[in-house]
Amino acid sequence: MIILFIRMNNITENLIRRELQPVLEAELERPVISTLIGPRQVGKTTLIARIAAGLRNRGVSDRSLIHLNFDDLELRSRLSLRPGALRNELEIRLGIPLNSLEDRIYLFLDEAQKAPELFDEIKLLFDRHRETIKIVITGSSSLQIRDRMAESLAGRIRYHYLYGLTLKEAIGHYGFWREDGGLMALFLRGNLTERRAAQVQAEVWENRASIENLRRRLLVFGALPAVFLEESEEERWFMLRDYAATYIEKDIRLLGKVGDLDLFHRLYQTLLLQSGNLLNVSNLASDLGMSRNTVNSYLGILEQTQVLDRLRPWAKKSKTRLLKAPKIYFFDSGLINHACRRTGYRALKTSGSLGAITEGMFLFNTLSLSRNMSIPPEITFWRDYRGREIDFVIEGDQVVGIELTAENQLRKKRLETIKYLRANSQIKRFLIVGNFPALEKIPGAGDSWKIPSWLMF
């Protein structure tokens, strides 16, 4: 079955515009296979539908926009058995041989990891028709895609990563910010200055309460677009309840690399409750009755399917002993809160987990931008055996420490850690993001700032 992008404008116009959209649109005429990877239900199919709608607005005909969705079992089975039939189906749709193409066509292959037998055929299509066929691939498992593409498509492919909604995307949807650059993008690209930060603050100042409410909604219900846009809170929880079963029963079962799905599900649930904590593989293996090798294998699958990130410690030379264990973060706070039965911001705040949830949201907001940069910064954390820590160390053109807090003042202990690191490490600049009323410079800490949580988008 070939699905065409027909009259998508009305379907997509009310959906949230993703920051990755202009990046992919700019790449449509480049001779590379554009590959979009992200967890289930983060909006990959919707994003390529918006891109197709944009192409139609530029005058590209419906016939030149072809979408194959390999969630469709009949399509997947038929083309997996006869990969060469992909070419035949395209020629039937176009009504002409591919060798006769004059105008460019756009082929969107959705959830392509489910039909890995096609990758050799995709390679042939690209090699023979790169000037007339633009190929865009989406997938929720970088494990399968990278394994097969390393063999078939090396040097022909460019990866992009899509996660849940960022705070900037959410506030842009409601009209509170329309420009390309927010503080996060300015910071990651090394362009965050005192003047520019003050300008951004002034431009959104009157909407700061509304932005804070959106930030709290993301913290509680997570960043899956369909969940975020759902008006009924009860329906949001139903959607989150169904996510784990769908992920394990569809993505993980199809992946075929998990020997025991029940054990995998137990590990998944355990790690959900430990998001934001240090990872101890030995303790996990002992508690769950699994071998260390099995735990490590399943952790790798969770990472490769984009639902978990292992944040490693900053490993530069230091005068003090540093912790070496990584921290783990799940990509969506709504899934964590559902598992913990935290149904509102007040419950989250009193649970003692607000800090870890806030860190996770910040991390994946940062990854949404950084992993799609040509030279991504390195993101780590710092903690020593004396209990001093910085939530994130981001190393690009400069090394910057990021500390998140729910408080409205800078505590003495945190200020002492900043001063220690400025004197004893390469980290000279710090951004403290918290419940502050307004942007404010930190006295005695160089070019370091206190930033309101609602402004860090």
Residue 333 and residue 291 share a domain: yes
Separation between Cα atoms, residue 183 and residue 177, nearest integer Å: 12
Residue 399 and residue 353 share a domain: yes
Write out the H or E segment, with its range, that includes residue 323: none
Residue 450 and residue 371 share a domain: yes
Question: Of 109, 132, 161, which residue constitutes the final position of a domain?
Answer: 161
Residue 414 and residue 288 share a domain: yes
Residue 181 and residue 128 share a domain: no
Q: Which long-range contacts (CB under 8 A, 24 or more apart) does 444-449 make?
A: 444/419, 445/415, 445/418, 445/419, 446/422, 447/194, 448/418, 449/194, 449/197
Q: Tell me, what CATH number does 141's domain have?
A: 3.40.50.300
The pair of structure tokens assigned to 208 is 């700061």
Residue 94 and residue 211 share a domain: no
Provide the domain limits for residue 46: 3-161
Contacts of 333 (CB under 8 A, 6+ apart): 218, 219, 220, 221, 222, 223, 357, 360, 361
Residue 228 and residue 90 share a domain: no
The pair of structure tokens assigned to 167 is 């705070």
Question: Of 127, 161, 195, which residue constitutes the final position of a domain?
Answer: 161
The pair of structure tokens assigned to 226 is 């369909």
Contacts of 135 (CB under 8 A, 6+ apart): 33, 34, 107, 109, 122, 125, 126
Q: Which has the closest alpha carbon to 427: 453, 395, 389? A: 395
Contacts of 137 (CB under 8 A, 6+ apart): 33, 34, 35, 36, 109, 112, 122, 145, 157
How far apart, in Å, do the first and last CA atoms of the chain sit?
41
Residue 172 and residue 156 share a domain: no
Residue 324 and residue 287 share a domain: yes
Whose tokens are 């980290």? That residue is 427
Q: What total of structural domains would you count in the chain?
A: 2
Residue 383 and residue 279 share a domain: yes
Rounded to 10 degrees, what is the CA torsion of 26, 375, 328, 331?
A: -10
Residue 188 and residue 157 share a domain: no
Separation between Cα atoms, residue 65 and residue 343, nearest integer Å: 42
Q: What is the pTM of this model?
A: 0.91
Separation between Cα atoms, residue 240 and residue 247, nearest integer Å: 11
Residue 198 and residue 94 share a domain: no
Q: What is the DSSP letter of 244?
A: H
Q: Which has the closest alpha carbon to 73: 261, 301, 258, 250? A: 250
Question: Of 161, 194, 219, which residue constitutes the final position of a domain?
Answer: 161
What tens-digit pLDDT sequence spans the chain (457 residues)? 444 444 444 445 568 999 999 999 999 999 999 999 999 899 999 999 999 999 999 999 999 999 999 989 999 999 999 998 999 989 988 989 999 999 999 999 998 888 888 988 998 999 999 999 999 999 886 666 666 666 666 778 899 999 999 999 999 999 999 887 789 999 998 888 989 999 999 999 999 999 999 999 999 999 999 999 999 999 999 999 999 888 887 778 777 778 888 999 999 999 999 999 999 999 999 999 999 999 999 999 999 888 999 999 997 755 566 778 999 999 999 999 999 999 999 999 999 999 999 999 999 999 999 999 999 999 999 998 888 999 999 999 889 999 999 999 898 999 999 999 999 999 999 999 999 999 999 988 888 999 999 999 9
